[in-house]
Amino acid sequence: MAIVGFIIWAAATAGLRIGGQYVFRETSTRAAVLLLLVSLPVMVIVALQVLRRYRTAEERALAAIVLVAPGMALDTISSMWFSRVFPNIRADAAGLFGGWLLFCNVIVLLTAIVSSRSAIAVDRG
Q: What is the CA radius of gyration of the chain?
A: 16
Cα(first)–Cα(last) distance of the chain, in Å? 30
Question: What gap in Å lies between CA 13 and CA 123, rounded to an integer?
Answer: 38
Tens digit of pLDDT for each residue in 15-69?
A: 999 999 999 999 999 999 999 999 999 999 999 999 999 989 899 999 999 999 9
Tens digit of pLDDT for each residue in 63-118?
A: 999 999 999 999 999 999 999 999 999 999 999 999 999 999 999 999 999 987 66
At 91, which helix (H) or strand (E)? none
Q: What is the pTM of this model?
A: 0.88
Q: Residue ranges of the domains in the chain? A: 2-124
